[in-house]
């Protein structure tokens, strides 16, 4: 017998990807919002610009995601007023981790990827699970298409582990335009095989010149 309030989550699908480069970061997400087998809208953005050098893309339950983005944007504004500067990406990364963990027993059903430039201007990507465990990586994919996309990114971008001693150089070899092309290709493939991914792709590129946004059409079926 299912009772009211028994299960409050739903998965709205979608995929988010981020790739960090030497001086840029690409964050991309599709714009399809689904419930079960239905598409509710083809035009829903999963990306939130939290600070000038920090962008968050989340897939999962869009109700929780909306609340999470609002929460973080408000905290960023408070930080701005207190410290007279915008939050850096690594600072926002830890804030997001704590925000997610504080709801450890009633989680935000959100799979997040945070991308941006760190204080030295190098690209950084932070990848999360739903309760806040995070790690800085060179690239990441989250969402329903992540298991389709990650192997391709591993193939193209995998670099020696940062845990190795003696340390080996780990720079993503791609240029900004190559990374954007890779993202487009990877989403095109994921759209073929994941029912929750498609319609449109929103790509945000951050580099020292600023933020650029681009929309690409994907298969609508």
Partner 1 sequence: EQLINLLDTFTRVQAQRPKRPTGRTATSSNARKKGEEIESGDAATPPSSPSIHRFRNAGDAMMKLDMSALETQFGAPAGEDGGLLFDVDGAAMPAMEFPNCPDFDRFQAKTKDMVKNKRGTTTLAFIFDKGVIVAADSRASMGGYISSQTVRKIIEINPYMLGTMAGGAADCQFWHRNLGTKCRLHELANKRRISVTGASKLLANILYSYRGMGLSIGTMIAGWDEKGPGLYYVDSEGARLKGNRFSVGSGSLYAYAVLDEGYRFKMSVEEAGELARRAIYHATFRDGASGGCVSVYHVGPDGWKKLSGDDVGELHYQYYPVEKTPVEQEMTDASTS
Residue 1 in contact with partner 1, rule: CB under 8 A: no
Report the nearest approach of partner 1 to the CB of residue 42 (Å): 25
- Measured CA to CA, the distance from residue 116 to residue 130 in angstroms comes to 20
Strand partners, 216: 201
Binds partner 1 (CB under 8 A): choice among 31, 34, 59, 97: 97
Q: For residue 97, what are the CA distances in angstroms to 128, 138, 171, 189? A: 8, 18, 25, 30
Give the N- to C-terminal CA distance of the chain in Å, as an integer.
36
Interaction of residue 119 with partner 1, rule CB under 8 A: no
DSSP letter assigned to residue 88: P
Number of shown-chain residues binding partner 1 (CB under 8 A) = 38
Q: Out of 3, 37, 209, 210, point to the residue binding partner 1 (CB under 8 A).
A: 3
Residue with smaller CB distance to partner 1, 152 or 216: 152
> Which residue stretch of 19-27, 36-44, 47-55, 75-83 sits at the interface with partner 1 (rule: CB under 8 A)?
75-83
Q: Which is nearer to partner 1, 40 or 78 (CB)?
A: 78
209 binds partner 1 (CB under 8 A): no
By CB under 8 A, tell whether 101 contacts partner 1: yes
- CA gap 89, 125 in Å, rounded: 9
Dihedral sign (CA 43, 186, 133, 54): negative
The Cα–Cα gap between 132 and 107 comes to 9
Nearest alpha-carbon partner for 53 in 119, 132, 141, 139: 119
- Taking the complex as a whole, the smallest distance from the CB of residue 130 to partner 1 amounts, in Å, to 4
Q: Which two tokens stand for residue 135?
A: 């790690």
- 18 vs 180, beta carbon nearer partner 1: 18
Binding site for partner 1 (CB under 8 A): 3, 5-9, 67, 71, 75, 78, 82, 97-98, 100-107, 109, 127, 129-135, 137, 147, 160-165
């Amino acid at each position: 017998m299912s009772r009211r309030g028994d299960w409050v989550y739903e998965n709205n699908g979608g995929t988010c990807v981020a790739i960090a480069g030497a001086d840029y970061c690409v964050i991309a997400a599709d714009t399809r919002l689904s419930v079960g087998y239905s598409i509710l809208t083809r035009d829903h953005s999963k990306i939130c610009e939290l600070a000038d050098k920090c962008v968050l893309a989340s897939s999962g339950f869009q109700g929780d995601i909306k609340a999470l983005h609002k929460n973080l944007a408000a905290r960023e504004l408070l930080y701005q007023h207190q410290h007279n500067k915008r939050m850096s990406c690594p600072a926002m990364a830890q804030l997001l981790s704590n925000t997610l963990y504080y709801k450890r027993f009633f989680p935000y059903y959100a799979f997040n990827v945070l991308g941006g430039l760190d204080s030295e201007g190098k690209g950084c990507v932070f990848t999360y699970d739903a309760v806040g465990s995070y790690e800085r990586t060179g690239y990441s994919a989250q969402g329903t298409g992540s298991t389709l996309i990650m192997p391709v990114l591993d193939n193209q971008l995998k670099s020696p582990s940062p845990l190795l001693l003696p340390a080996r150089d780990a720079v993503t070899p791609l240029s900004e335009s190559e990374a954007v092309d890779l993202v487009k290709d990877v989403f095109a493939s994921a759209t073929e095989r994941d029912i929750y991914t498609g319609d449109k792709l929103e790509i945000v590129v951050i580099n020292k010149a600023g933020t650029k946004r681009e929309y690409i059409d994907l298969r609508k079926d």
